Structure 1
C-alpha cells in the first residue's frame, strides 16, 4: 500500500516470480505466440466479448464471444464457451459454441469442439473430438451473425 493511494498494491513487496513462461508458445504447427499475447493464463477466467486483433492465446477459461481478424490458439487447458470468429484457429483445448474461421482450423490431439464449424480448410489430429455440423470450403466461409443458421436442405 502506498500513502498516496491506500488501495494501490505494492508490487515490489511481492518478490520474484517462481517459474517462468517461455518467450514464445507454439503448438504443433510451430506458429509462435508471444508471451504477451496470452489473454487468459492457466487457471484464469474471463467473461465477456473479446476482440481478437492479433495472435491470441487462451490457456484458461473464457465465457463469451471471441471475434476479429487475429489468429486464435487454445491451449490444452483452455476452454471457450461462446461464438468464435477468427482468421485461423489452432486448438488443443475445448470450445463449446459455433466456430467460423477465415483460413484454417486445426484441432490437435485432445481438443474438443462442441459446435458447428465453418472454415475453408480443416485439420483434425487423431484423438480430437468434434460434435457439430461442418461447412468446409472457401465458398462456404461467410461472416456469421448472431442468428442461428438454418440446416442445409
Structure 2
C-alpha cells in the first residue's frame, strides 16, 4: 500500500479526466493550460491549451487561441484554433479566424468564416508535380 503511493509521488493523473467549467457570466482574461476537458459557457480573452476536449456552449465565447484534442462548438470563437482530432460545429456556432484540424464536421446553419487546413489531407505541390510528369512520360 505504501510502496504504491511512493511510486506515484509528485505525479498526478487525476486532473486528466476532470472537466473544468467556465460558467455563463464569468470572464477570464489570460492564458489557461490544463490536462482535462473544458466546458465554456462564459468568456475567455486569451489562450486555452489542453490535451482534453473543449466544449463551447451557446453562451460561450473565446477570443484568442485554442489548442486541444477535440472540440464541439455551439458558441462563438475568434482567433486561431488547432484541433488534433475532430472539430464539430453545431448550427449556432460562429467561427472566424484560422483553423487547423484533423476532421471537420459542420451542421447546417453554422457560420464558418475561417481559413482551414485539415491534417492528413494536405498534399504537397512536389508530389502533384511528380505524378503529372509520370503521366506525361507514359503518354509520350
- Would the TM-score normalized by the shorter structure come out above 0.5? yes
**Unpaired runs of 5+ in structure 1?**
1-33, 141-153
Superposed, which structure 2 residues align to 1:63-102 within 5 Å? Answer: 63-102=45-84
In 1, Cα distance between equivalents of 2:55 and 2:34:
11
Aligned-residue CA RMSD (Å): 1.6
Q: What is the SS of the residue equivalent to 1:82?
A: strand
- TM superposition shift of 1:38: 4.0
1:57 counterpart = 2:39: yes
In 1, Cα distance between equivalents of 2:60 and 2:36:
18
Residue 52 to residue 112, structure 1, CA distance change in 2 (3 Å)? farther
Q: What is the SS of the residue equivalent to 1:43?
A: coil
Match in the other structure for 2:116: 134
- TM superposition shift of 1:79: 0.2
TM-score (norm 2): 0.71
In 2, Cα distance between equivalents of 1:41 and 1:118:
27
Which protein is bigger by CA-based radius of gyration?
Answer: 2
Residue 108 to residue 52, structure 1, CA distance change in 2 (3 Å)? farther
Of 94, 107, 123, the residue aligned with 1:125 is 107
In 2, Cα distance between equivalents of 1:55 and 1:132:
24
Asked if the contact 2:22/2:42 (under 8 Å) is kept, the reply is yes
For 1:33-57, what per-residue CA distance to the aligned partner results, in whole angstroms no more than 9, with x for missing partners? Answer: x9x7243101111111011311110
**Unpaired runs of 5+ in structure 2?**
1-16, 123-140
In 1, Cα distance between equivalents of 2:89 and 2:59:
14
Asked if the contact 2:30/2:45 (under 8 Å) is kept, the reply is yes
The count of corresponding residues between Structure 1 and Structure 2 is: 106
Flag the structure with higher helix content: 2
Match in the other structure for 2:21: 39
